[in-house]
Structure 1
């Protein structure tokens, strides 16, 4: 993914580090070697540490006194938390987006779906990112900044889990069908179908993840 040159340096560093985590290039539980990462990104350690602090507040990394920053592990408990919040917020946010979408927003959603579908059919490694962009395209036209920001954060937190979920071949076709059903309802502004389709899609993913992820150790 090419960096967005319209962003400031701090945001570009944050986005690049975040994409490395979400794509799995920095895997769960991996220590973040700041010297090497700063060299790769062509930046000093000070702005990188600022980006890592932002990632920590987003829940993607954790800092430990003796280990420094570490990519947050995947856990069933966190998946339950993230997807439960998506269920509470995202379906209604999709309705708001559908109602408010203009021609540009509707075309953006179609384009995002086509890109995601091509990635699913091609079994490509960027499926997680394109899945996030598709779901966000259904919400962004609402114009509700706090809602969009909240959904964006939840989609980022769920992206690594989506990659795990789609690792099973049989789920790719199902995901494509569910996305198509959701998009069609969204374009036609069928609010009741948008709600039920979005809820079904998110809940089905969570059900699969419950079976895939090992139980968390007792606190």
Structure 2
């Protein structure tokens, strides 16, 4: 792999994003050793930002760090996926119920714009590492209107932790089309003020994604 130059003032963030991209894309498979000295040489960075990046990857559940061994890419786990998606259902359905009464036409327009970007990228098969980020961007247009910043921060971390699972789900046949239909319906229900219907659809949407992830893992 060729050396990747980074600007000094953004080196830690750049290293983190580069390593995360390689893990999510599958370039670094489960069990791959992330040794600080090797990464420092390859990426043209010192060991301090490498260490910081590995700690951030560990916080997102992407690597395990062992003393004197650097990081090891974590594998996908059905037990972990089950926990993540159950938490998503609990948190997101409640946030949506609190958010919808506060949402404006502009909020729904922005959600629709994010949906178009998400659809284009997934259908084209481009920038796989960005799929989960765009999925979060879409959902966040709803949840931020609940005005619960601490819960939203927890949920954003949870979405980051499910990046690789979302990617696995969206690679399943028919998954992008189903995601589009459910996202579009969620916007429509929200515009109509159907809080009960929207929460019911959201639970169905997350549950369906989990079933596809489970099918890919077993």
Identify the TM-score tier after normalising by the shorter chain: 0.7 to 0.9
Aligned-partner SS, 1:108? helix
State TM-score, norm by structure 1. 0.81
**Given the alignment of the two structures, is residue 202 of structure 1 paired with residue 168 of structure 2, yes or no?**
no
Which residues in structure 2 correspond to 1:26-175 (within 5 Å)? 26-39=28-41, 41-65=43-67, 67-102=69-104, 104-124=106-126, 125=128, 126-175=130-179
List per-residue Cα deviations over 1:145-188 (Å, max 9, x = no partner).
11111111111111211111222222221121111112222333
Alpha-carbon contact 1:120-1:176 (below 8 Å) kept: no
State TM-score, norm by structure 2. 0.81
The offset of 1:37, in angstroms, is 3.6
Alpha-carbon contact 2:85-2:206 (below 8 Å) kept: yes
- Larger helix proportion, structure 1 or 2? 2
User: Number of residues paired by the alignment?
Assistant: 209
**Given the alignment of the two structures, is residue 186 of structure 1 paired with residue 187 of structure 2, yes or no?**
no
Q: Which has the larger radius of gyration?
A: 2
Gaps of 5+ in 2: 1-6
**Bigger shift: 154-163 or 19-28?**
19-28
The offset of 1:94, in angstroms, is 2.5
